[in-house]
Structure 1
Amino acid sequence: MPHNTSRLIQLLILTLLINLPYSSHAQTAKRFEAHMDFLASDLLQGRDTGSVGHEIASQYIATEFAKMGILPAGDDGGYMQRIDFKSAVLDLDSPKMSLRHGKDELELEFLEEFAVSADVNRLQSMVSGELVFVGFGIDAPFLNYNDFTGVDVKGKIAVVLRGKPNHFPSEEGSHYARTSTESMIDRGAIGVIAISTPTIEKIWAFSRAKEYIDKPRIKWVNKGGAVHKGNPEIQASASLSIDAGKKLFALAGLDLEKVFAQIEAGEKPQAQVMNVSADISYASTHDVTDSPNVVGILEGSDEVLKHEYVLLSAHTDHIGVSSHIDIGDKINNGAMDNAAGVSTLLEMAHQITQSGKRPKRSILLTMVTAEEKGLLGSDYFANNPTVPLESIVANVNLDMPVLTNAFDQLIGFGSEHSSMGTVIEQATIKNGMRLIPDPMPEQSIFVRSDQYSFVKKGIPAVYLVPADQADMKFDDHEISSAEFLVEHYHKPSDQLDLPINYDVAAKFVAINAAIATEIANAEARPQWNKDSFFATIDEQ
């Protein structure tokens, strides 16, 4: 049988499965599997932002919305909210970086000692200047902490450590770490050199820069064509490996190991002028592309509350094809990341629409693009919502549930920060699972997925993921979440031949659907807890 004919028959079977009416847990599992088989197939080529594969995935989702009676809430009466992006690709032969102290000069080796990213603002990026060490580059009034005390970075290149102080609360600290570039810009820095720390190296090794060096860097642009938060004030920047960082500090007569020891001891690193200068340069090529969010509304049943929305989100993109891999499979199918999240949201919508009883508040379903590029699709929607921003009462986000074992406990990232905590715990227990505290605070998960875009706008949010038990025994065919993160995350092996447990996926759907429905039917809209840090931020 010709390959194309065989594929058409497969897709026809999938369509028949997906059109099964909702009536049982088993059918939810089958429907979930059918969504996965399409969204994580080789046909979609890893769903990279702006690719044909991602467009196909987006059209598939819009079609599913239409079949469920979900109203379009994108642009011009359709489901799609198209976003214009400016992209930049690094000229791999161009990066150069050198350090000077008096007559001593040190040339660093690209990708072995330093790395740079393509610049969306300039074709030629170049900075020369004196270096000032500013710890983590964090100004955190809420935590009574400031790395810039006693130094001036105006017109200088700021040298910072990646990450945050060990004593910082995970989520609050990660928020401040993510805004450190803005803190440096506010003080007049013209360049940034970031150095890995041992803690960050364990989470995201410097050597992994090679895996992404050929990928475009993109930013969304507004209707006037201006790049949103492109940070053009930074003329050039670079990141250093730990060994290269030690060389820089030694050139300055300082000891980076002592700085690391200070951090481990809970002490604040001393900001200081380094009496070293640096030259950084590299070239980029620019292009434009566009990619859609897919947005729909299930209108609420209450004449007053239907004008408020519970926003359900999942990202549709993944990282495409890895051209740098010489042999073997190059397609990053993104089965867990995030075909599983999209399938969960589609099945949540199916359960709610087929229940025969619409919730009081409206459900706003937002499938966003460009999460892998820096939460860009959700950030665009948060800044250009298709319903009034103040009418969005909460966000439930779905991102990379690892469904490769028979887990019975969940982590509710963000649940401790708002009144939704009780709802989440009750829904988890009712479905035979346990809610546990964050076992990996060093990963700062709550600010690393799309809910963060809405949290910054003052919207309470939660994000559930499966969790391994410390003493959990896995069958030979199962894969733990920890193993997935090490062996399969952002790799071609995140594909459909993983041991996906569709029965437990159906339970995960039921829990999230119960949470969304309860929030939508509650008399009062969710509120941040008064002592939560996130109650204090509201990005304008």
Structure 2
Amino acid sequence: MKGHRIALALSVQLGLFQLASAQTTSLTIPNEAQQAARQVRPEAIEAHMRYLSDDKLAGRRPGTPGFELAAQYVESQFKTLGFKPAGQRGTFRQAVPLRKAQVREEASSMALIQNGGEQQLTYGKNFILSPNFGQATSEVSAPVVFVGFGVSAPELGYDDYAGIDVRGKIVACFNGAPATFPSNQRAYTGSAKQEIAAARGAVGLITFSLPTDVRARIESNAPRNRQAIYRWTDPKGQTQRTFPQLRVIASLGDSTARSLFATSTKSFEEARLAANKSQPQAFPLNLSVRARTQTDLNDGLIGENIVGMLPGSDPQLRNEYVVYVSHLDHLGVGRVVKGDSINNGAHDNASGVSINLEAARLFASLPKKPRRSIVFVAVTGEEMGLLGSDYFASNPTVPKASIVANLCLDMPFFFHPLLDIVPYGSEHSSMKGAVDAAAQFVGVKIAKDPIPEQAVFMRSDHFSFVRQGIPAIYIKSGSTTGDDRDGTKLNLDWRATVYHTPQDDMNQPFDWNAAARHVQLQFLIGYLTAQSDSRPVWNEGDFFGTKFGTNAAVR
């Protein structure tokens, strides 16, 4: 009854708001979509979440019985809703072959060579290595060149590599990217250092943090950074998004990083000041590094995406697809925290899967299905590096060129009323029109990113689609709570104390009314996109559209 009262109140509120919003939005929401949106069931969201985050699923780690239970649950929901299998071989499943790589620390080493002497470094204290996916034993000895942030972005008027040849050399750089870049572009360029270094002919990459970036130091991240890394492999067994030509990829501690500049023409402090001013820079460090990385490689794990499709109603447009994603996996069983070791992942991301399942139900309830086909994918391996979504976006079970848009949901943050939203990605494409229309109908405002330093635009499954040139939207709650609470502080406190711990369970103060609004937003944005005569396009001159899109100009 409580859930029914919430749904009724929400329906009444939406009915009143719709009268005002219909006159202010340029996109019209048809009556059948309005009616479907009003039928959202907060209690269904809660029921899905309770099952998916139950202890018996043991944290839904890929390759475990708990993940299989979660996959079976999502598959059963698709069947109940009348969705068609859209995986491989007439099933709801898409296999995602994964390769595991783990540095064998006792057989790996790194040394600084300068002024005729050699300084051996200590693993875990001075440096940490990333595994090499191309070979079990990777060795290199080469001079080191400092390249600022290691960023090459001429389209943003910045290039650390301008005027310097790094072929056959190891490049060293600060973590992050220039502060003058827009938030999303800063997040992307800061993550592309390996790709840029390899493209310039470097044979290694060394990174370290600015003194103020305490979160990025190896001292803070050593336990996580020393874990195994996974990547997906193609049918030829080649590991994707790896750069084996970089024969050493290392992170240095703060004091060790400073020592690199001992005999260079510029000091660490001078380099830091230039970086803080967003000035491109590059110069030799007048030392060499000798490194050996021993990697244990294993191909034993197969992840699975769960894929269901609601065929479209238009004879031509039904062969185009709006794809929804939310990650089904979480961290499994880990260390004991406050007496519990099961990382249930209620908010991360049973919530996103559950909201998308309810949105799928709204689509299925329509008297006439949308013109374009709707595909829902519960992806694996997000916690391992967006692996399931990257695999699907790179190897979709429908024609890639026919995927017109992506909507992602991951930890939307509904611990307070949903009064404003941050629609990551909407500023990059024509999907902004659908986002604005849905937000006006639901009665939420559009807000700016309150935590740009968290690089949210890069951290969930929508970005896998952006890489393939597909416009994508990822909605999270804004910071307005309607009372004296600070929504940004609530978010940051949750990330600091609950995120990726066993305390992310159902014993949290979820606002189910807010969750229902997320359903309506997901449904309406996708519906308007599926109904439109033209597919979404990147804004003219957009950074991501230019870099990844096949048609960056607005038609």
Instruction: Give yes or no for contact 1:120–1:218 (8 Å, CA) kept in 2.
Output: no
Contact 2:328-2:350 at 8 Å conserved across structures:
yes
The DSSP-based 3-state class of the residue aligned with 2:235 is coil
Q: In 2, distance between residues paired with 1:395 and 1:475?
A: 30
In the alignment, the residues of structure 1 paired with residue 223 and residue 345 of structure 2 have an alpha-carbon distance, to the nearest angstrom, of 16
- Alignment match, 2:527: 517
The letter of the residue matching 2:310 is: L
1:415 to 408, 423, 426: 426
1:146 aligns with 2:177: no
Unaligned runs of at least 5 residues, structure 2 = 1-34, 551-555
1:371 counterpart residue number: 382
CA RMSD of aligned residues (A): 2.5
CA contact (8 A) 1:404 1:479 kept: no
Residue 220 of structure 1: aligned partner: 232
In structure 2, the CA distance between the partners of 1:40 and 1:200, relative to structure 1 (3 Å rule), is: farther
Mapped partners of 2:470, 2:283: distance in 1:
38
C-alpha distance in structure 2 between counterparts of 1:439 and 1:45, whole Å: 33
1:198–1:331 CA distance, 2 compared to 1 (3 A): farther
Quickly say closer, same or farther: Cα 1:59–1:158, change in 2 above 3 A. same
**Aligned 8 A contact 2:37 2:362 in 1:** no
For 2:89 and 2:345, the matched residues in 1 are separated by: 30
Number of the residue aligned with 1:245:
257
Contact 2:420 2:477 in 1 (8 A): yes
Q: Report how far residue 527 of structure 1 moved.
A: 1.4
The share of aligned pairs that are identical, in percent, is 36
1:319 aligns with 2:326: no
| Match for residue 134 of structure 2 among 113, 117, 121 | 121
In the aligned structure 2, how far is the partner of 1:426 from the partner of 1:24?
Answer: 13
Which residue matches 1:9? none
2:518 pairs with 1:505: no
Q: Distance in 2 between matches of 1:484 and 1:116?
A: 30
Q: Is the 8 A contact 1:457 1:537 kept in 2?
A: no
One-letter amino acid of the counterpart of residue 507, structure 2: D
User: C-alpha distance in 2, partners of 1:62/1:471?
Assistant: 38
Task: Provide the rounded CA distance (Å) in 2 between the counterparts of 1:181 and 1:27.
Answer: 44
Q: Distance in 2 between matches of 1:152 and 1:472?
A: 56
- The 8 Å contact of residues 263 and 286 in structure 2, kept in 1 or not, is answered as no
Alpha-carbon shift at residue 105 of structure 1 (Å): 3.8
TM-score in terms of structure 2 length: 0.87
**Map 1:179-190 → 2, pairs under 5 A:** 179-190=192-203
> Residue by residue, what CA displacement relative to the aligned partner does 1:220-267 show, whole Å, maximum 9, x if unpaired?
111121212321111121111333212222354642233222222232
**1 CA distance for matches of 2:307 and 2:251?**
37
Deviation at 1:341, TM superposition (A): 0.8
Within 1, Cα distance between the matches of 2:56 and 2:189?
Answer: 40
Note closer, same or farther for the CA distance 1:214–1:227 as it changes in structure 2 (3 Å cut): same
Q: Indicate yes or no: 2:309 matched with 1:297.
A: yes
Map 1:326-365 → 2, pairs under 5 A:
328-365=339-376
Structure 1 residues 25 and 480, CA, compared in 2 at 3 Å: closer, same or farther?
farther
SS of the residue 2:296 aligns to: strand
Match of residue 22 from structure 2 = none
Is the CA contact 1:111–1:209 (under 8 Å) kept in the aligned structure 2? Answer: no
Residue 470 to residue 497, structure 1, CA distance change in 2 (3 Å): closer
In the aligned structure 1, how far is the partner of 2:343 from the partner of 2:256? Answer: 31
**Partner SS, residue 330 of structure 1:** strand
With 327-336 and 30-39 compared, the bigger mean Cα shift is at 327-336
TM-score, normalized by length of structure 1?
Answer: 0.89
Does residue 1:261 correspond to 2:280, yes or no? no
Partner of 2:498: 488
Cα contact 1:405–1:479 (8 A) shared by 2: no
The aligned runs of 1:376-391 (5 Å cut-off) are 376-391=387-402
Change (3 A) 1:475 1:245: closer
The range that moved more, 68-77 or 90-99, is 90-99
Aligned length: 515
Of the candidates 62, 66, 73, which is equivalent to residue 86 of structure 2?
A: 73
Provide the rounded CA distance (Å) in 2 between the counterparts of 1:515 and 1:327: 40
Counterparts of 1:199 and 1:460, CA distance in 2: 34
Corresponding residue for residue 32 of structure 2: none
1:127–1:473 CA distance, 2 compared to 1 (3 A):
farther
Which SS does the other structure have where 2:535 is aligned?
coil
Question: Structure 1 counterpart of 2:245, which letter?
Answer: E
User: Structure 1's 386 and 330: CA in aligned 2 closer, same or farther, altered over 3 A?
Assistant: same
Q: Is 1:274 matched with 2:266?
A: no
Q: Secondary structure at the match of 1:181?
A: helix
Moved more, 408-417 or 95-104: 95-104
Tell me which of 174, 194, 200 is aligned to 2:207.
194
**Structure 2 CA distance for partners of 1:120 and 1:357, relative to 1, 3 Å:** same
Question: Aligned letter for 1:529?
Answer: N
Distance 1:40 1:127 in 2: 46
Partner of 1:435: 446
Distance 1:207 1:426 in 2: 46
CA distance in 1, matches of 2:308, 2:245: 38
Partner residue, 1:102: 115
Residue 480 of structure 2: SS of its match in structure 1? coil
Q: How many Å separate the matches in 2 of 1:240 and 1:94?
A: 18
* C-alpha contact (below 8 Å) 1:397/1:450 kept by paired residues: yes
Aligned partner of 1:452 in structure 2 is: 463
Contact 2:529 2:536 in 1 (8 A): yes
Question: Which of 130, 145, 149 is the aligned partner of 1:136?
Answer: 149
Aligned in 2, Cα 1:326/1:351: closer, same or farther, shift over 3 Å?
Answer: closer
